Protein backbone atom coordinates (compact mmCIF):
# COMPACT_ATOMS: atom_id res chain seq x y z
CA UNK A 1 0.00 0.00 0.00
CA UNK A 2 1.36 3.38 -1.00
CA UNK A 3 1.86 6.25 1.42
CA UNK A 4 -0.93 8.19 -0.31
CA UNK A 5 -3.43 5.41 0.26
CA UNK A 6 -2.45 5.14 3.91
CA UNK A 7 -3.03 8.88 4.38
CA UNK A 8 -6.38 8.65 2.57
CA UNK A 9 -7.58 5.70 4.66
CA UNK A 10 -6.46 7.42 7.87
CA UNK A 11 -8.37 10.57 6.95
CA UNK A 12 -11.43 8.48 6.01
CA UNK A 13 -11.31 6.53 9.27
CA UNK A 14 -11.73 9.67 11.40
CA UNK A 15 -15.26 10.66 10.26
CA UNK A 16 -16.30 7.00 10.19
CA UNK A 17 -15.18 6.55 13.80
CA UNK A 18 -16.92 9.77 14.82
CA UNK A 19 -20.13 8.63 13.13
CA UNK A 20 -20.00 5.26 14.91
CA UNK A 21 -19.52 6.96 18.27
CA UNK A 22 -22.35 9.38 17.48
CA UNK A 23 -24.79 6.58 16.57
CA UNK A 24 -23.89 4.61 19.68
CA UNK A 25 -24.85 7.60 21.79
CA UNK A 26 -27.73 8.80 19.61
CA UNK A 27 -29.21 5.71 17.93
CA UNK A 28 -32.07 5.28 15.50
CA UNK A 29 -34.47 2.75 17.01
CA UNK A 30 -37.06 1.16 14.72
CA UNK A 31 -39.62 -1.60 14.96
CA UNK A 32 -42.62 -3.06 13.15
CA UNK A 33 -45.84 -3.40 15.11
CA UNK A 34 -48.95 -5.39 14.21
CA UNK A 35 -52.32 -4.15 15.41
CA UNK A 36 -55.11 -6.73 15.29
CA UNK A 37 -58.84 -6.04 15.76
CA UNK A 38 -60.95 -9.06 16.74
CA UNK A 39 -64.74 -8.93 16.41
CA UNK A 40 -67.36 -11.54 17.20
CA UNK A 41 -70.12 -11.80 14.59
CA UNK A 42 -72.98 -14.08 15.66
CA UNK A 43 -70.61 -16.32 17.61
CA UNK A 44 -67.83 -16.41 15.00
CA UNK A 45 -64.55 -14.50 15.32
CA UNK A 46 -63.62 -12.13 12.50
CA UNK A 47 -60.36 -10.19 12.54
CA UNK A 48 -58.18 -7.80 10.59
CA UNK A 49 -54.64 -6.56 11.15
CA UNK A 50 -52.08 -4.13 9.83
CA UNK A 51 -48.31 -3.76 10.29
CA UNK A 52 -46.79 -0.29 10.74
CA UNK A 53 -43.14 0.79 10.86
CA UNK A 54 -42.10 3.19 13.64
CA UNK A 55 -38.70 4.88 14.03
CA UNK A 56 -37.20 7.19 16.65
CA UNK A 57 -34.10 9.17 15.69
CA UNK A 58 -32.20 10.47 18.72
CA UNK A 59 -29.92 13.51 18.60
CA UNK A 60 -28.03 15.79 21.04
CA UNK A 61 -30.11 18.10 23.20
CA UNK A 62 -28.31 21.18 21.85
CA UNK A 63 -29.84 20.41 18.46
CA UNK A 64 -33.35 20.29 19.89
CA UNK A 65 -33.84 24.08 19.82
CA UNK A 66 -36.13 23.90 22.81
CA UNK A 67 -37.92 20.73 21.67
CA UNK A 68 -37.42 17.04 22.43
CA UNK A 69 -34.35 14.94 21.79
CA UNK A 70 -35.96 12.40 19.45
CA UNK A 71 -37.77 12.71 16.15
CA UNK A 72 -40.40 10.06 15.49
CA UNK A 73 -41.56 8.78 12.11
CA UNK A 74 -44.12 6.21 11.07
CA UNK A 75 -45.49 4.54 7.95
CA UNK A 76 -48.41 2.17 7.77
CA UNK A 77 -52.13 1.97 7.23
CA UNK A 78 -55.33 1.59 9.22
CA UNK A 79 -56.68 -1.82 10.17
CA UNK A 80 -59.89 -2.78 8.41
CA UNK A 81 -62.25 -5.66 9.15
CA UNK A 82 -64.92 -6.72 6.67
CA UNK A 83 -68.22 -7.12 8.50
CA UNK A 84 -70.66 -8.48 5.98
CA UNK A 85 -69.60 -6.11 3.24
CA UNK A 86 -69.21 -3.12 5.57
CA UNK A 87 -65.55 -2.54 6.49
CA UNK A 88 -64.75 -1.26 9.96
CA UNK A 89 -61.58 0.85 10.18
CA UNK A 90 -59.26 1.27 13.18
CA UNK A 91 -57.47 4.49 12.31
CA UNK A 92 -53.89 5.67 12.77
CA UNK A 93 -55.17 7.98 15.48
CA UNK A 94 -57.26 7.94 18.64
CA UNK A 95 -59.90 10.40 19.71
CA UNK A 96 -57.17 12.55 21.23
CA UNK A 97 -54.07 12.50 19.01
CA UNK A 98 -53.10 12.00 15.39
CA UNK A 99 -49.82 10.38 16.53
CA UNK A 100 -51.61 7.52 18.25
CA UNK A 101 -49.97 4.61 16.44
CA UNK A 102 -46.47 5.91 17.19
CA UNK A 103 -47.24 6.36 20.86
CA UNK A 104 -49.24 3.33 21.88
CA UNK A 105 -46.49 0.68 21.90
CA UNK A 106 -43.96 2.75 23.80
CA UNK A 107 -46.55 3.87 26.33
CA UNK A 108 -47.77 0.34 26.97
CA UNK A 109 -44.25 -0.94 27.50
CA UNK A 110 -42.97 1.94 29.62
CA UNK A 111 -45.83 1.47 32.06
CA UNK A 112 -44.52 -2.03 32.74
CA UNK A 113 -40.91 -0.94 33.35
CA UNK A 114 -39.40 0.11 36.68
CA UNK A 115 -38.72 3.81 37.07
CA UNK A 116 -35.33 5.06 35.97
CA UNK A 117 -35.27 3.73 32.42
CA UNK A 118 -34.29 6.29 29.83
CA UNK A 119 -36.54 6.67 26.81
CA UNK A 120 -34.03 5.14 24.39
CA UNK A 121 -33.25 2.23 26.72
CA UNK A 122 -36.96 1.52 27.12
CA UNK A 123 -37.43 1.43 23.35
CA UNK A 124 -34.46 -0.90 22.90
CA UNK A 125 -35.88 -3.33 25.47
CA UNK A 126 -39.33 -3.04 23.97
CA UNK A 127 -38.24 -4.46 20.63
CA UNK A 128 -37.18 -7.74 22.25
CA UNK A 129 -39.55 -8.00 25.23
CA UNK A 130 -42.85 -6.48 24.18
CA UNK A 131 -44.71 -9.60 23.07
CA UNK A 132 -48.40 -9.58 22.13
CA UNK A 133 -50.45 -7.28 24.36
CA UNK A 134 -54.12 -6.45 24.61
CA UNK A 135 -54.84 -2.75 24.51
CA UNK A 136 -56.71 -1.27 27.46
CA UNK A 137 -59.91 0.52 26.51
CA UNK A 138 -58.33 3.98 26.97
CA UNK A 139 -55.71 3.16 24.31
CA UNK A 140 -58.13 2.17 21.55
CA UNK A 141 -57.77 3.79 18.14
CA UNK A 142 -60.68 5.72 16.66
CA UNK A 143 -63.10 3.38 14.87
CA UNK A 144 -65.03 4.52 11.80
CA UNK A 145 -67.07 3.15 8.91
CA UNK A 146 -68.57 4.54 5.69
CA UNK A 147 -72.25 4.22 4.84
CA UNK A 148 -71.07 4.45 1.22
CA UNK A 149 -67.54 3.10 0.85
CA UNK A 150 -67.07 5.12 -2.35
CA UNK A 151 -67.89 8.43 -0.63
CA UNK A 152 -65.45 9.86 1.98
CA UNK A 153 -68.19 12.25 3.12
CA UNK A 154 -70.21 9.28 4.44
CA UNK A 155 -67.72 8.52 7.26
CA UNK A 156 -69.21 7.84 10.69
CA UNK A 157 -67.73 7.15 14.11
CA UNK A 158 -68.27 3.69 15.53
CA UNK A 159 -68.67 3.16 19.27
CA UNK A 160 -66.24 0.37 20.28
CA UNK A 161 -68.53 -0.47 23.20
CA UNK A 162 -71.59 -0.85 20.97
CA UNK A 163 -70.77 -2.16 17.49
CA UNK A 164 -74.28 -3.60 17.32
CA UNK A 165 -75.69 -0.08 17.04
CA UNK A 166 -73.87 0.28 13.71
CA UNK A 167 -73.55 -3.25 12.35
CA UNK A 168 -76.55 -5.01 13.87
CA UNK A 169 -77.22 -7.47 16.67
CA UNK A 170 -74.61 -10.12 17.35
CA UNK A 171 -71.63 -7.92 16.45
CA UNK A 172 -69.26 -7.20 19.35
CA UNK A 173 -65.66 -6.01 19.65
CA UNK A 174 -63.73 -8.65 21.58
CA UNK A 175 -60.28 -7.10 21.79
CA UNK A 176 -57.56 -5.09 20.07
CA UNK A 177 -53.97 -6.29 20.40
CA UNK A 178 -50.55 -4.94 19.52
CA UNK A 179 -47.40 -6.99 18.91
CA UNK A 180 -43.83 -6.21 17.87
CA UNK A 181 -43.20 -8.27 14.73
CA UNK A 182 -40.62 -9.01 12.07
CA UNK A 183 -43.30 -9.04 9.39
CA UNK A 184 -43.24 -6.52 6.55
CA UNK A 185 -45.58 -3.55 6.54
CA UNK A 186 -48.99 -4.13 4.98
CA UNK A 187 -50.43 -2.46 1.89
CA UNK A 188 -53.75 -2.56 0.11
CA UNK A 189 -56.12 -0.16 1.85
CA UNK A 190 -56.53 1.69 -1.48
CA UNK A 191 -58.24 -1.45 -2.78
CA UNK A 192 -60.98 -0.79 -0.21
CA UNK A 193 -60.93 3.02 -0.28
CA UNK A 194 -60.52 3.73 -3.96
CA UNK A 195 -60.80 7.51 -3.43
CA UNK A 196 -57.86 7.63 -0.99
CA UNK A 197 -55.11 8.52 -3.53
CA UNK A 198 -57.15 11.54 -4.61
CA UNK A 199 -57.35 12.87 -1.04
CA UNK A 200 -53.64 12.91 -0.19
CA UNK A 201 -53.88 16.53 0.96
CA UNK A 202 -56.54 18.27 3.01
CA UNK A 203 -59.42 16.85 4.99
CA UNK A 204 -61.97 14.32 3.81
CA UNK A 205 -64.40 17.13 3.05
CA UNK A 206 -61.86 18.79 0.75
CA UNK A 207 -60.93 21.61 3.16
CA UNK A 208 -57.27 22.48 3.56
CA UNK A 209 -57.52 22.92 7.33
CA UNK A 210 -59.80 21.96 10.22
CA UNK A 211 -62.47 24.60 10.76
CA UNK A 212 -65.28 22.66 12.47
CA UNK A 213 -66.03 19.66 14.67
CA UNK A 214 -67.50 17.67 11.79
CA UNK A 215 -65.78 14.32 11.42
CA UNK A 216 -65.19 14.87 7.70
CA UNK A 217 -63.34 18.08 8.61
CA UNK A 218 -61.18 16.35 11.25
CA UNK A 219 -60.01 13.28 9.34
CA UNK A 220 -57.54 13.21 6.48
CA UNK A 221 -55.80 10.58 4.33
CA UNK A 222 -52.93 10.29 6.83
CA UNK A 223 -55.31 8.78 9.36
CA UNK A 224 -55.87 5.90 6.93
CA UNK A 225 -52.40 5.58 5.44
CA UNK A 226 -48.94 7.12 5.89
CA UNK A 227 -46.58 6.36 3.09
CA UNK A 228 -43.29 6.66 4.97
CA UNK A 229 -40.05 8.55 4.80
In a domain, 37, yes or no: yes
The confidence score (pLDDT) of residue 114 equals 60
In a domain, 31, yes or no: yes
Spatial contact of 50 and 35, defined as CB atoms under 8 Å apart? yes
Scanning 26-168, the segments in alpha helix (DSSP H) are 100-112, 119-129, 164-167
Residue bearing the bigger pLDDT, 200 or 40: 40
What is the distance between the alpha carbons of residues 22 and 24, in angstroms, rounded to a whole number?
5
The lowest-confidence range among 41-50, 121-130, 136-145 is 121-130
The model's pTM is 0.80
What is the distance between the alpha carbons of residues 220 and 182, in angstroms, rounded to a whole number?
28
Residue bearing the bigger pLDDT, 98 or 216: 216
Residue 229 binned pLDDT confidence (cut-offs 50, 70, 90): very low
Residue bearing the bigger pLDDT, 143 or 13: 143
Residue bearing the bigger pLDDT, 108 or 150: 150
Instruction: Please report the DSSP string for 178-216 in residue order.
Output: EEEE-SPPP--GGGT-TTGGGGSSSBTTS-SS--SS-GG
Q: How does pLDDT run across 1-32, given as a tens digit for each residue?
A: 576 655 655 666 656 555 555 555 667 778 88
In a domain, 16, yes or no: no
Q: What is the spatial order of strands in the sheet that 143-146 belongs to?
A: 79-83, 86-90, 143-146, 155-157
In a domain, 2, yes or no: no
Q: How far is CA 145 from the centre of its chain?
A: 19
Q: What is the mean pLDDT of residues 123-151?
A: 85
Residue 66 φ then ψ, to 5°: 90, -5
In a domain, 151, yes or no: yes
Most confident range (mean pLDDT) of 15-19, 198-202, 216-220, 224-228 is 216-220
Residue 108 predicted with pLDDT over 70: no
In a domain, 14, yes or no: no
Q: Count each helix (H run) and each strand (E run) in the chain, helices first.
A: 4, 10
Residue 133 predicted with pLDDT over 90: no
3-state helix, strand, coil in the chain (%, to 5): 30, 30, 35
DSSP-based three-state secondary structure for 118 = coil
Q: How far is CA 164 from the centre of its chain?
A: 27
Domain total in the chain: 1
Residue bearing the bigger pLDDT, 94 or 162: 162
Mean pLDDT across the chain, nearest whole number? Answer: 80
- DSSP E strands, 42-127: 44-58, 70-77, 79-83, 86-90
Domain holding 92, by residue range, is: 27-226
In a domain, 175, yes or no: yes
Residue bearing the bigger pLDDT, 49 or 62: 49
Q: How many CB atoms lie within 10 A of CB 190?
A: 13
In a domain, 213, yes or no: yes
Amino acid sequence: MTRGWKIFLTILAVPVALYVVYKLNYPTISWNQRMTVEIEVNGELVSGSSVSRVSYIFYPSWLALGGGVANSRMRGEAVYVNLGGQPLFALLRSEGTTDYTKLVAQNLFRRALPRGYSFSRALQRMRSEFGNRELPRDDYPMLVMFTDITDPMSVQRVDPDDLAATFGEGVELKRITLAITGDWGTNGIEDVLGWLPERRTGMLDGSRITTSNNLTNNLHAGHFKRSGY
